[in-house]
Amino acid sequence: MTHVVTDNCIKCKYMDCVEVCPVDCFYVGENMLVIHPDECIDCGVCVPECPAEAIFADSDIPSDSHWLGLNRKYAGLWPNIVAKSEPPPDADAWNGAPNKYAEHFSPQPGEHEGSDERPDPRSATEVAGSGRSDIRAAKGEV
Domains and CATH numbers, the chain: 3-115 (3.30.70.20)
Choose the most confident range, by mean pLDDT, from 24-33, 103-112, 129-138.
24-33
Let me know the angle formed at the C-alpha of 9 by 19 and 67, rounded to the nearest 5 degrees: 105
pLDDT at residue 47 greater than cutoff 50: yes
pLDDT of res. 140:
52
Nearest to 29 by CA among 95, 113, 96, 119: 113
For 89-129, the pLDDT digits (tens) are 999 999 999 999 999 999 999 986 543 344 445 444 444 45
pTM, to two decimals: 0.78
Q: Which pLDDT band, with edges at 50, 70 and 90, does 134 fall under?
A: very low
9 exposure class (CB count in 10 Å sphere: 0-12, 13-18, 19+): buried
